[in-house]
Structure 1
């Protein structure tokens, strides 16, 4: 620990990668800080920690997909002997929206409680920007700013490049003969990427 800095490691980005890094770092006794902030969209959309997946990706998508499947399966339930099922009942969109938002907010709160209450990690709901090798500028929603210092700074970037790379690889593989089907290859690419991200986060935390 270097007393010259406020933190041993400071992470910008509170998605799955950032949360994994701060978790591993605090287990090693490091002084850890985390900044995560989403600029509201023109419609005012914003979210908390967790990244894209639980906020606007996997969780909302799967809840909506599950709802659609339930709607379809009502017809099968009646045909296979289930009683009291109305295959022509209406769906209330607002109820679904409220449930999606409830689930997402629950995940955000669980993440925040885990960060601050359980592990004592300093969490800033502010936009983090690198000023130099050891200084981060933190800007809140009102434009007020402060500076913090850390011996090591990690900025988590969105994996758009990796998504594009995966798509290109899959397309190339599919035009080549005598190779496994796309589903088989896709699963293994994602497994390798996920495992690599996990190893990277453990390596970063253990070497800072």
Structure 2
């Protein structure tokens, strides 16, 4: 007889998303000590720390393409050098952006991060599986693991409005556009929406934010008002 005892703990990590940790005491063996579903910063950090503790670890990661067809691979999408990403800065008073150069550089950077991350996992002896995780029982996905961490992050939500998926883009798609976005309406005033409106405005593209309640809901509202006031002064 197999005896199973489960302890489930749901908590919010400092990476900003939920992790569900399932700990089982089972009279049996598993393919891995830990399986991580999600290959973002939180999931990868968890996997690397576990391997450092001598655990057998597998990471499952797969990105469902957006309605516009945008997709990417394993790892993050940080951008850190302005000139390499399309900015032309002959002087502080004369700053321009080349959208084709920007998007090409961003996509190349993402691909390089994907590759480096896969090599890093291989070197650390962490099994990488490009696939969706689906629970068949508390310890079985496409493999068996004593512990499972869900660190899948989040994706933009399309409202249930006719034409939204066909004619709108999300933050997933913006750096895959083959042309400058031009005048943009940003629906939603969370931190990603305000971030998009802010950098579009800074690039010289008109940006308007549509919000149904309050900006940055769930954050300190004194700070939220300071952020939105500054954005309005800058032309958003």
TM-score interval, normalised by the smaller of the two chains: 0.5 to 0.7
| Aligned pairs for 1:105-124 within 5 A | 105-116=111-122, 118-124=123-129
Where in structure 1 are there 5+ consecutive unaligned residues? Answer: 78-86, 137-146, 176-180, 183-208
- Kept in 2, the 8 Å contact 1:8–1:151? The answer is yes
Alpha-carbon RMSD across the aligned residues, in angstroms, is 3.7
Change (3 A) 1:153 1:76: closer
Change (3 A) 1:93 1:109: same
Higher mean displacement: 25-34 or 38-47: 38-47
SS in structure 2 of the partner of residue 4 of structure 1: coil
Change (3 A) 1:131 1:112: same
**Structure 2 counterpart of 1:170:** 220
Change (3 A) 1:131 1:91: same
Higher strand share: 2
**Structure 1 counterpart of 2:40:** 15
**Structure 2 counterpart of 1:127:** 132
TM-fit CA distance, 1:163: 6.8
**Structure 2 counterpart of 1:151:** 146
Where in structure 2 are there 5+ consecutive unaligned residues? Answer: 1-26, 156-189, 193-215, 228-236
Higher relative contact order (CA 8 A, sep 6+): 1
Higher mean displacement: 119-128 or 95-104: 95-104
- Kept in 1, the 8 Å contact 2:40–2:152? The answer is no
Distance in 2, matches of 1:17 and 1:157, equals: 9
**TM-score normalised to structure 1 length:** 0.57
Aligned length: 147
Distance in 1, matches of 2:222 and 2:101, equals: 43
Match of 1:35 among 41, 56, 60: 60
Higher helix share: 1
Match of 2:107 among 74, 89, 101: 101
SS in structure 1 of the partner of residue 219 of structure 2: helix
